[in-house]
Amino acid sequence: MTRRTAAFGAVVVLVTAGMTAYALSAIAENDRRTSQATDATTTSLAQVEEGPRILFQHTGRDADYGHVGAVALADPGGARALTDLSCDRVYAQAKSVSCLTTERGVVSRYRATDLTTSTPGTEWREVDGIDLPGLPSRTRISPDGKLVSSTVFVNGDSYMVSGFSTRTVVRRIGGASYGDLEKFELVVDGRRVSPVDRNIWGVTFADDDRTFYATVATGGRTYLARGDLSARSLTTIADHVECPSLSPDGTRIAFKEAVEDGTRWAPAVLDLATGRRTVLAGETHSIDDQIEWLDDDTVLYGLEREDEPVSDVWSLDTSASAKPRVLISEAASPAVLR
């Protein structure tokens, strides 16, 4: 054996040992975590479903990680009910729940499932669903629980072409699909256009089962667009808006706005009647969630902790200098069910 071969052998042994040791410790940590019961105080779903509640994704590093949970709106920091339903993204309105999932594999499969929570405390029942063409990103349900939207990332061409693309679909639960929103007529700044590079994501529904708002990106800019399901059209009404969320009274849009050269997203609120914007500067972290309204003056969003891979749901008053606070710890994807 030459010295060269010996040196190479040493490198192989070192690298292989390093990789194996890391993987084994990760497996041990994973197994410890997934067999451990949650630290949070828990209660039964029947208890929580009696009144107004907040649905969310549990993010505690334990056996219930990723499962959908619920807390009473009156006591969000209190006991939580945990279900067996596991989702990447979850949202609920009225009696409908939308759950986007990834079935990981050499070829991952993605699915949107619609469930109903009709009788308090009983198992949620699957009522509808579709296969998704990519990675789950956003989902929203209309206030009456009849319409559902889902946004996914569509993977591009692995050989050459830049692949960033979203696909957003709106469906009537248990009924027909309105299809891909990119196929809707698009009016940007008053002109009808059909750009190749358009991407649409982050839908929020008004309460008339027809009007919705969404982000439209084209030509390197993002716009807030008002959509009309009957006319199959999207019309931009403001720019520099991402992931809109309509307030319960329908007068304001909460969204995230790129600041500091697009490396941070700040929460902001737009008054639809006056066009006045308020950046909620009290939150200094980057928000990458579709904001949810707790009530007409308070917004909610999930935010990952800096030191560990656990999210918490924060609440923030919509005045410019309000300070955020943790509303539900170990939680993400909040949805308020009144």
Q: Return the structure tokens found at 103.
A: 């079935």
Among 73, 79, 133, 326, binds another protein (CB under 8 A): 133
Using CB under 8 A, which residues numbered 248 to 287 contact another protein? Answer: 256, 258, 262-263, 265, 286
Min CB(167)–another protein separation in Å: 9
What x-and-dash track marks residues 47-66 binding another protein by CB under 8 A? ------------------x-
What x-and-dash track marks residues 298-327 binding another protein by CB under 8 A? ------x----x------------------
Residues whose CB falls within 8 Å of the CB of residue 203, separated by 6 or more in sequence, listed in order: 138, 140, 149, 151, 168, 170, 181, 212, 213, 214, 227
Which of 2/321 has CB closer to another protein? 2
Cβ neighbours of 308 (radius 10 Å): 8
Contact 283, 266 (CB under 8 A): yes
Report d(CA 321, CA 284) in Å as an integer: 11
Residue 32 engages another protein in binding (rule: CB under 8 A):
no
Among 92, 132, 148, 335, binds another protein (CB under 8 A): 132
Residues whose CB falls within 8 Å of the CB of residue 243, separated by 6 or more in sequence, listed in order: 138, 201, 202, 215, 255, 256, 289, 290, 291
Mapped onto helix, strand or coil, the DSSP state of residue 82 is strand
Binding interface with another protein (CB under 8 A)? 4-5, 7-8, 11-12, 15-16, 18-19, 22-23, 26-27, 30, 34, 65, 88, 102, 104-111, 131-133, 135, 137, 153, 155-166, 194, 196-197, 199, 201, 217, 222, 242-243, 256, 258, 262-263, 265, 286, 288, 304, 309
